Structure 1
């Protein structure tokens, strides 16, 4: 099993379109912005950039069998209406027989920020909790500030890296131009269910991630692709947290990826 060490805390102060780096033995982190200010704007895209030491990883919004997901707390920010975190497609890690979803080397989480008052200065304060893991997991807590003024809104040098990782965020199943055209879910018995996905191109070796209610875990039992390569079927087992939970009533989120394309969306298990 993964072990956890005591939580650590660090803080930093922003300058221009990025904060200073927070540096640990396992990771370097900072906030970056696609623009150097918010003049005339009601929104701006920023990013949390994480660089990881070799062998270390951090986690997706739903880590899987093990791991600590990032938690974003914006309390204390000024002129902030909303901050929507986007999650680039993760990869699977196997550790001691456990499967988790996350990132190694480097990741940027794009964050779409909406201002309360358009064009007015934005003062962001982020308290971030996350796990950085190798054979052990270290829970960290960091504090960032990033101030974007009202005098300018030029594209920053950090914009390109945010855009690079935004391209790896799964699209929404069924929207125009998305390769995964639709998906459905059906209960097979009290524990097992099938997810069927359809593509307007062709499947090669599709992968699936299932998210459900807190405490639910899902095991992939099998998958197959139709002869015409346009349909993929996944058979999964659901481990629901309470005996009273009924599989056929569950709402889940599926993320399906294949050959560099990925899409996600909510499903109701019929």
Structure 2
């Protein structure tokens, strides 16, 4: 028995199940206990709470089965690894798309606030559902048709890559890399936009430019919390997803046999930290009077 693998797997289980409970509590705080004010501009963020909750739960089940395989090999059920691993990939896809849409939404709000607030209400947040579901169906085509995967796993199959085969694992790695690149690029655009307007509003002596900058902040302030959470998510992805993935690709000794589910441990530690930060922010916030955009227009 590899103590490192057991330690990493146990830590990953604790982080994932804790993420499940904390994200579930956030949802209950908004929709049931009403201890957190519900905001229309946060709808996609609330959806992400639900996705992260499901992600943590299904990952925890997967890791629990991994620990059972390690401690009680005779209890291994043939092909069960696939049926536990496949939902992890599905939910991972949903989360990837959701984070991309949230970041894109915030970029559009920051870069073109007038157009955004005039037309965004015409587009339902529910459009995310058919897009992600359609892509999940397409992933079945990739797995079964393109990769020609057959559900016939060896009994010693313990990690996600083994559960879905090398072909699909390679596709999934590319999918994540493209997602990270898009989310990272959009986050840089968003940061640059906010930085520029923040400095303009504070340093300019031109009354007209100052007026425009103030108008910009008045437009985005009502949903600024969603913008901050989008940037937080991008930071968490970079620190707890991208960096561990780079380390594992560059250091041959960091493989599943030697360090266990290291990527899953880092990923769900990031989810847990992010959920905790959001929990502290949401439960400590006080109602703030938004600046009237109409008055800015007519003043």
TM-score scaled to structure 2, two decimals? 0.24
Q: Which has the larger radius of gyration?
A: 2
Higher helix share: 2
TM-score scaled to structure 1, two decimals? 0.26
